[in-house]
Structure 1
Amino acid sequence: MSNPSKPVRPAGAPSALEVLVRDKRFRGADGVLVHAIDEIAFDVPAGSFTTLIGPSGCGKTTTLRIILGLDDDFAGHIRLPEKEGRTAVVFQEPRLLPWRTAEDNVRLALPDAMESENLDDLFAIVGLSEMRNRYPSELSLGLARRVALARAFAIKPSLLLLDEPFVSLDEMTATRLRQLLVTVWSARRTTALMVTHNLREAVQLSDRIVFLTERPARIRGVEVIDRDRSARDADWRERTVRDLDRRYSGVL
């Protein structure tokens, strides 16, 4: 029976990422059985940016691995936005091949059908037009992270997963890269899910924030951020962070 409260998606339109993980367990390095996830269920609406936030070890990265299909030993199901769509991942480290230029590192991710893709606009958006022929050893960590972002967006993914992409950066560099991510994502809109410990980062970037409990993880709450990103100035962000920290104590 259809749900009359749920809008009907037109044929051919992109769908949401749907995540349901129940009772995920694994054995740690010491052989002890770890109960990582009790039950988490959430959607990432098509073309939106959702952030998963929670304490260390609560199962955020485990959830990303399950979505990527790297871990299928769980109860539940994952429904990707497009069955045949491409998924891009931005890791905590840029993971660039040192013997290849910035552009070569980006092009390595392209499928055969896109190998001659013109990347001029993409490199311009990420501010790397003058760095295309530089090697990773010639780039700062901030610039290397830009290359990693360009590599992810170059394949025109239907799903973008980000695993703490700005960790270990100083706050000034991280703030610039967050704004860069918004710029690139707005220009090449895709369904995005990011994992972070940083509530300020989540408030700056997200349409929705999914809060997780400590391990074994459950959904603590979901907050919709409906303010236009251009209006999310520093004062508004700090007020919102304080409000969320009051309601989700211990998240900061």
Structure 2
Amino acid sequence: MQPAGAAAPLKVDIDEKTFRSAEGVTIVALRGLSFEVRQGEFACLLGPSGCGKTTTLRILLGLDRQFSGSYQLPEGGSKRIAAVFQEPVLLPWRTVEQNIRLALPPRLRDKDLDWLFDILGLSAMRSLYPSELSLGLARRAALARAFATEPAILFLDEPFASLDERTADKLRRLLMTVWAARPTTALMVTHNLREALLLADRIVVLSPRPAHVLGIFDVGLPRHLREAPSLDHLVSEFHKRFSDTV
């Protein structure tokens, strides 16, 4: 089904999404999944592995149209959608800078991106090719490509998965730095509770499959105060409310 009209910045009302397994069994991935993400908000979809988080993102990106229900994306501004996936998906025959600029509309290909390269620590990497980058640096380039377009909404599908914790934590903080410099409505999929508590304004908590919303957790604490002791307290508060979740 095509996106519905426009009102809320991001509004999701998926009645049901099913698919058939390799054995021919019908599996219900999503049922009665409804939530909103406010303008300029960074929200996380949190739920156990296999519950339907990535399926939801694929629907919102228009990659899966076989579902019942509707959704509406933000209007106004650039109207562009950006996505960052688990794999950086960089063109191997293009440099870092070329990969980033190719995502821009032709009239914006020469725009000043120095601020973005500086924030993400890529200034010295602009002329390198993807094969010359570590996975952490390649994921920085993927983040830069997404933010360069100044999207109306940014989707992130576990962009720090498979990284060691030190590298992942550095990238999370870089993400927050660049997002704070140019805030945009963002929805990120994760099954990592501490990651969600570090990054999000609000966490949309999903049930096991078929996914529906168990509740919304408002983080509340300013990001600059979300260090280890405060995160420990937030984890405790989260588990008090969602005792059987992630």
Residue 4 of structure 2 corresponds to: none
Q: Which amino acid aligns with 1:140?
A: S
1:178 aligns with 2:172: yes
* Residue pairs, 1:69-84, within 5 angstroms: 69-82=62-75
- Which of 1, 11, 18 matches 2:11? 18
* Residue pairs, 1:86-105, within 5 angstroms: 86-105=80-99
Q: 2:219·2:234 contact (CA, 8 Å) conserved in 1?
A: no
Consecutive unaligned residues in structure 2, runs of 5 or more: 1-6
Q: Separation in 1 of the partners of 2:107 and 2:25?
A: 46
CA deviations 1:170-225 (Å, max 9, x no partner) are 11111110000000001111000000010000000000001111111111110111
1:127 aligns with 2:121: yes
**Which 4+ residue blocks in structure 1 deviate beyond 4 angstroms?**
none
* Residue pairs, 1:29-48, within 5 angstroms: 29-48=22-41
Residue 9 of structure 1 corresponds to: none
Q: Separation in 1 of the partners of 2:99 and 2:229?
A: 38
SS in structure 2 of the partner of residue 57 of structure 1: coil
* Residue pairs, 1:193-204, within 5 angstroms: 193-204=187-198
Consecutive unaligned residues in structure 1, runs of 5 or more: 1-13
- Which of 152, 160, 170 matches 1:166? 160
- Which of 42, 60, 71 matches 2:53? 60
Q: 1:199·1:251 contact (CA, 8 Å) conserved in 2?
A: no
Q: Separation in 2 of the partners of 1:31 and 1:188?
A: 46
% identity of equivalent residues: 57
Query: How many residues are paired up?
Result: 239
Q: 1:101·1:135 contact (CA, 8 Å) conserved in 2?
A: yes
What is the TM-score with the length of structure 1 in the denominator?
A: 0.91
Q: Which amino acid aligns with 1:215?
A: R
SS in structure 2 of the partner of residue 217 of structure 1: coil
What is the TM-score with the length of structure 2 in the denominator?
A: 0.93
CA deviations 1:80-123 (Å, max 9, x no partner) are 01166000000001111122111111111111121111211111
Residue 191 of structure 1 corresponds to: 185
